Structure 1
Amino acid sequence: MAPYESEDSQSAVRRKVTRYAVPVAVVGVAAATIGLVPALADSGDPDLPKITAQELIEKIAASDTEQLSGTVKIHTDLGLPSLGGAASGLTGGDKGSSSADPQAKLTELASGTHTLRVAADGQDRQKLSILDDASEYSLIHNGADVWAYDSASDEAYHAKDTRPAGDRAKKQGREVPVTPKELTDKIIEASGDTTSFTVDGTAQIAGRDAYRLQIKPKQSGSTVGAVTIAVDAKTGTPLKFTLTPASGGAAVVDAGFTKVDFGRPAASTFDFKPSKGTKVTEADEQAARDRQGHGARPDAGQADGVDGLNVIGKGWTSVAELKLPGDSGAAGLASGSAPGGMPADAQKFLDSLGDKVTGKFGSGTVYSTRLVNVLITEDGKVYAGAVTKDALVKAADAG
């Protein structure tokens, strides 16, 4: 079917579905995307009434699903080796922090295949569990309380939010988008006149009839080939999200329900009380220890340890530019020498991705994946985006 290209109506729909005010290619979104799947098998192509791309996007925007439970299969194929022990080093993990801390634990979604169990009952009750062969990690948001529990270490992490219920963030306690709905919101919010929307047939996901919305960049230079979203025909809820790279091959990100129920979960689903002997870490106490060990945190509005963010370009070829502080070891990264404090396995991981480049900006190293490329210059600047290496160097020259 023809692409949805009405700019006025598209703009109105984008505003309606906006959940996050961040371009898809900036560092935060790029990092989040790394935290996410190969395509899940569809079980049929149902015969559904015809629908335009505009109508399907409006259907997603109008969806009022607030209660559901189910199982999500998520897989990431960035073409990277397993992060293993390097994950905490690359994401700033602290050896003194709790193993149940969501900021550290959710980085495990950065590679491989994972099975998640999810449940939601409105804005103030959600639960996410990562299921392993012999253990389970759960993140529970229930009113003003956020609990995380790691059964492997028998450790729990607790945070409290005293704001009024209406002011609490829906994904309180975590930043990484892991459900098809969260991923869809990010992509549609960031789309503009640089994007083509089409309806690409139908599918059956988790026993539900669904339409397939296909989103493609119109710009050259993006590493994104297409995003395909399976949308529940009845409720408008995204059931599956697949991101394929422009280079071809397996999907980089594929997250989808294998089971889903739109009934209200039992209230007991969101109950949690640590058992006797469980080590409990309070978020405010850990934050105080972190401040003592690492000094005051940056001002609000700045990313940790970096100067202000600048976005070069727009749409799918947006590139984030930022300046690392002088003591960050950025020059060491670009030259291949390990910065102080970086674990050896993390440095080895980075070295395996490095590719020396030069341009008007000077010289530096590009670290590449199938989706996100990052250029660290020898003078301590960082350029990152879901763009090709050539597009990244061009942006650095322009910056």
Structure 2
Amino acid sequence: MRLFDTARRSVVDVKLDDHVGMYVCGITPYDATHLGHAATYLAYDLVIRRLEDIGHTVTLVRNYTDVDDSILPKAAELGEHYLALAEREIARFTADMSALGARPAAYEPRATQSIEAMVTMIGTLFESGHAYTSGDRIYFDVSTFPEFGKLSGYSADRMAELAAERGGTPGDPRQRNPLDFVLWQASTDGEPAWPSPFGPGRPGWHIECSAMGHTALGETIDIHGGGGDLVFPHHECEIAQSEAIHGAPLARYWVHTGLVGYQGHKMSKSLGNLVFISDLRTRIDPRAIRLALMAHHYRSEWEWFDDEAMAAQRDLQELAGAASRTPAVDGEAGLVAEVRGALDNDLDAPAARDALLGAAAAIRRGGAGPALSDELCAAALLCGIDLRSTTMGEGPP
């Protein structure tokens, strides 16, 4: 299998042992699962399905960031406890992922249940000279990690720009360096606080994933993923603090997905134009959502248009109709191999989708052999679409 490795900036042969550990950054559970989430998590689901098809065993870890600078103000705005908000949105996310047929994660650690591991890591960073106290915060000192920026390849100026846009505070005078980032901070009134050797408070965002990933998968993760907006600062900071502690690469391969827009605009909570999966799957079969997302390459930035929903529903009906035309038979011809080849080619889901639809068209024309409908089902199932299911959203086939 070949995938684009962000760190190497090229498509590379992915060389893995029989058992593969995969960490994909999960949601901050303060709002519903939207189309961008689905595009990201179903892309990694395709990777997992193909790796399993090759013969690997995959352990997927996907976290919940249930305490950070996003969920706390949202809970306060709604007038409810932040953990009650998290619990409700985690349940909705789980239902959406199940309906979409995503492989369930083996571990779903929550930040609030991993505080002890974070405190231990921060203590180690202090002892090794990588952290310092300033005011009521503890920072990671990026000057002690000369490779900071190696994942993104960005200049210091570009990283400072993005830090300001994505939750960092490059202009804060408490920081020695504009790119230093928070490991621990004092909680303000109404915020949760945990005891620590550094005083009561709560963790910074980046240390959360370093602690949760290490607890579940050890020092080096085989494949680490997430949306492309996490390359910097989140994953860059993860690398710095984790590798400063362990002296080993945080990940063998870094795989990121492109961002999704909506009908000519950025899809965002502030614009109120998010397409929620829980709404979309009341209108079309969840399998059609998968099929629609397969039309877009996982690394590309693309826009969703509302007419894609019904077009995908029609395509699903075409596939399901073709799959039911002839009786199931043993054996496979070239379609499964074609889909495998597409997925192995940097997860070319659009090519795999085209192969499925092409086979369905051949069956409809009557020019296909008797084994093709069974092979169509096998090839679609490799992509997470069960054409012989009669119930919408039965869960992972």
Higher helix share: 2
TM-score above 0.5, yes or no:
no
Tell which structure's C-alpha radius of gyration is larger: 2
Higher strand share: 1
TM-score (norm 1): 0.23
